[in-house]
Structure 1
Amino acid sequence: MAGRESVSRLAGRYVVPRLPALAPDLNASFVREALDRAIHGIGPLAPAAVAAERRLRDAEGHARRALDAIVDDHVRYAGAQGLLTSVGGALTAVVTVPTNITGLALIQTRMVSAIAHLRGYDLDDPRVQDAVLACLLGEARVDALVRDRKIPAPPMALATAPAHDPDTHRVLAAEVTAELVAKVGGKRAAVAFTRKVPIVGGVVGMGVDGFDTWRIGDYAGSELRPRARR
Structure 2
Amino acid sequence: MGVTRSIGRQLAPRVVPRVTQLAPGLSASFVREALHRALDGAGPFTGAAALADKLLRGTDGDVDAAVKDVVDHHIRYAGVQGFATNLGGLVTMTVAVPANITGLAVLQDRMVAGVAHLRGYDLDDPRVHNAILVTTIGEDDVHALVKKGKIPAPPMALATAPMHDPSVDALVSAEVASDLITRVAGKRLATTMGRRIPGVGGLVGMGTDGWSTYKIGRYAEEELLPRRRR
Normalised to the residue count of structure 2, the TM-score between the two structures is 0.91
Greater Cα offset, 37-46 or 219-228? 37-46
Corresponding residue SS for 1:18? helix
Residue aligning to 1:56:
56
| Cα deviation, residue 145, structure 1 | 1.7
Kindly provide the amino acid, as one letter, of the partner of residue 138 in structure 1. Answer: G
1:215 corresponds to? 215
Question: Separation in 2 of the partners of 1:15 and 1:143?
Answer: 25
For 1:142, give the aligned amino acid. Answer: V
Instruction: Tell me which structure has the larger Cα radius of gyration.
Output: 1
CA distance in 2, matches of 1:27, 1:193: 27
Summarize deviations over 1:202-225 as a string: whole Å, max 9, x none.
Answer: 011001001101110100110000
**In structure 2, C-alpha distance between the alignment counterparts of 1:123 and 1:197, rounded to whole Å:** 44
The 5-angstrom pairing of residues 12-161 of structure 1 reads 18-161=18-161
The secondary structure found in structure 1 opposite 2:136 is helix
Q: In the aligned structure 2, how far is the partner of 1:70 from the partner of 1:221?
A: 10
CA distance in 2, matches of 1:46, 1:16: 32
Shift of 1:229: 2.2
- Percent identity, aligned pairs only? 56
The separation in 2 between residues aligned to 1:70 and 1:79, in whole angstroms, is: 15
Contact 1:55–1:66 (CA<8 Å) still a contact in 2?
A: yes
* Deviates further, 117-126 or 184-193: 184-193
Confirm or deny: 8 A CA contact 2:16 2:181 kept in the other structure: no
Structure 1 runs not aligned, ≥5 long:
1-13
Which residue of structure 1 aligns with residue 229 of structure 2?
229
CA distance in 2, matches of 1:204, 1:229: 41
Distance (Å, rounded) in 2 between the aligned partners of 1:135 and 1:82: 20
4+ residue stretches of structure 1 with deviation over 3 A?
A: 14-17
- Give matches, 1:169-180, under 5 Å: 169-180=169-180
Instruction: Tell me the residue number matched to 2:194.
Output: 194
What is the CA deviation profile of residues 62-115 of structure 1, one whole-angstrom value per residue up to 9, with x for unaligned ones? 111111110111111111110111002222111100110011111000000000
Q: Take 1:159 and 1:86, find their aligned partners in 2: how far apart are those partners? A: 34
Pairwise CA RMSD:
1.5
Residue type of the alignment partner of 1:175? E
CA 123–44 in structure 1, closer or farther in 2 if over 3 Å, else same: same
Deviation at 1:198, TM superposition (A): 2.5
5+ residue gaps in structure 2?
1-13
| Superposed displacement of residue 16, structure 1 | 7.1
Write the distance in 2 (CA, Å) between the matches of 1:43 and 1:174. 28
- Aligned position for 1:185: 185
Does structure 2 retain, via aligned residues, the 8 Å contact 1:16–1:186?
no
